[in-house]
Structure 1
Amino acid sequence: MTATTSSPRTPLWWARTGARAWTCAPVPRDVRAFHAALPGYAPTPLTELPFLAAELGVGRVFVKDESSRLGLPAFKALGAFWAVHRVLAERARSGQETGPVTLVTATDGNHGRALARAARLRGQHAHVLVPEGVHPRAVEAIVAEQARVTEVPGPYDEAVRRAARAATAPDTVLVQDTAWPGYEQVPAWIVEGYTTLCAEIDEQLTAEGIAGPDLVAVPVGVGSLAQAVVTHYRGSATDSSPALLSVEPDSAACVLESLAAGKPVTVTTGGTSMAGLNCGTPSSLAWPSLHGGLDAAVAVSDAESARAANRLATLGVPSGPCGAAALAGVRTALTGAGGEERRRGLGLGDRSVVVLLSTEGPAANPYAEAAADR
Structure 2
Amino acid sequence: MTSSPPTPSWYARPASPALRCAPAPAEVRGFHAALPGYAPTPLIELPTLAAELHAGRVFVKDESSRLGLPAFKALGASWAVHRVLAERAAADAGAPAGPLTLVTATDGNHGRAVARVARLMDLRAHVFVPRGVHRRAVAAIAAEQAEVTRVAGPYDEAVRRAAEAAAAPDAVLVQDTAWPGYETIPGWIVEGYSTLLAEIDDQLAAAGVAGPDLVAVPVGVGSLAQAVITHYRSRPAGPGPALLSVEPHAAPCVLHSLTRGEPVSVATGETTMAGLNCGTPSTLAWPYLRDGLDAAVAVTDADSARAAGDLAALGVSAGPCGAASLAGARAALGDDKRRASLDLGPAPVVVLLSTEGTAANPGALTL
- Using the size of structure 1 for normalisation, the TM-score is 0.94
Contact 1:362–1:369 (Cα < 8 Å) also in 2: no
Kindly report which structure 2 residues correspond to 1:173-322, keeping only aligned pairs within 5 A, or say none.
173-236=172-235, 241-322=240-321
| 1:172-215 Cα deviation digits (max 9, x unpaired) | 00000000000000000000001110000000001111110000
| 1:293-332 Cα deviation digits (max 9, x unpaired) | 0000000000000000000001110100000000000101
Q: RMSD over aligned Cα, in angstroms?
A: 1.5
Shift of 1:235: 1.1
Residue 356 of structure 1 corresponds to which residue in structure 2? 352
| SS of match in other structure, 1:362 | coil
Residue 340 of structure 1 corresponds to which residue in structure 2? 336
> Given the alignment of the two structures, is residue 30 of structure 1 paired with residue 49 of structure 2, yes or no?
no
Determine which of 349, 358, 363 is the counterpart of 1:367.
363
Shift of 1:132: 1.3
Partner letter of residue 50 of structure 1? P
| 1:236-295 Cα deviation digits (max 9, x unpaired) | 378671000000001100000000000000000000000000000000000000001000
Question: What is the alpha-carbon distance in structure 2 between the residues aligned to residue 294 and residue 208 of structure 1?
Answer: 26
Contact 1:213–1:240 (Cα < 8 Å) also in 2: no
Partner letter of residue 329 of structure 1? G
- Alignment gaps of 5+ in structure 2: none
- Using the size of structure 2 for normalisation, the TM-score is 0.96
Residue 119 of structure 1 corresponds to which residue in structure 2? 118
Question: What is the alpha-carbon distance in structure 2 between the residues aligned to residue 346 and residue 326 of structure 1?
Answer: 16
CA gap of 1:157–1:334, structure 2 versus 1, over 3 A, is same
Determine which of 38, 62, 66 is the counterpart of 2:63.
66
Question: What is the alpha-carbon distance in structure 2 between the residues aligned to residue 170 and residue 285 of structure 1?
Answer: 26
Question: What is the alpha-carbon distance in structure 2 between the residues aligned to residue 78 and residue 26 of structure 1?
Answer: 17
Question: What is the alpha-carbon distance in structure 2 between the residues aligned to residue 210 and residue 277 of structure 1?
Answer: 30
Question: What is the alpha-carbon distance in structure 2 between the residues aligned to residue 208 and residue 300 of structure 1?
Answer: 30
CA gap of 1:39–1:81, structure 2 versus 1, over 3 A, is same
| SS of match in other structure, 1:38 | coil
Question: What is the alpha-carbon distance in structure 1 between the residues aligned to residue 166 and residue 196 of structure 2?
Answer: 29
Question: What is the alpha-carbon distance in structure 2 between the residues aligned to residue 5 and residue 258 of structure 1?
Answer: 9
Question: What is the alpha-carbon distance in structure 1 between the residues aligned to residue 159 and residue 238 of structure 2?
Answer: 37
Contact 2:272–2:365 (Cα < 8 Å) also in 1: no
Moved more, 115-124 or 90-99: 90-99
Moved more, 133-142 or 251-260: 133-142
CA gap of 1:28–1:309, structure 2 versus 1, over 3 A, is same
Question: What is the alpha-carbon distance in structure 2 between the residues aligned to residue 262 and residue 67 of structure 1?
Answer: 34
Question: What is the alpha-carbon distance in structure 2 between the residues aligned to residue 44 and residue 254 of structure 1?
Answer: 29
Shift of 1:21: 2.8
Give identity over the alignment, percent. Answer: 72
CA gap of 1:238–1:99, structure 2 versus 1, over 3 A, is farther
Aligned length: 361
Shift of 1:133: 1.9
Shift of 1:228: 0.4
Question: What is the alpha-carbon distance in structure 2 between the residues aligned to residue 316 and residue 256 of structure 1?
Answer: 31
CA gap of 1:237–1:196, structure 2 versus 1, over 3 A, is farther
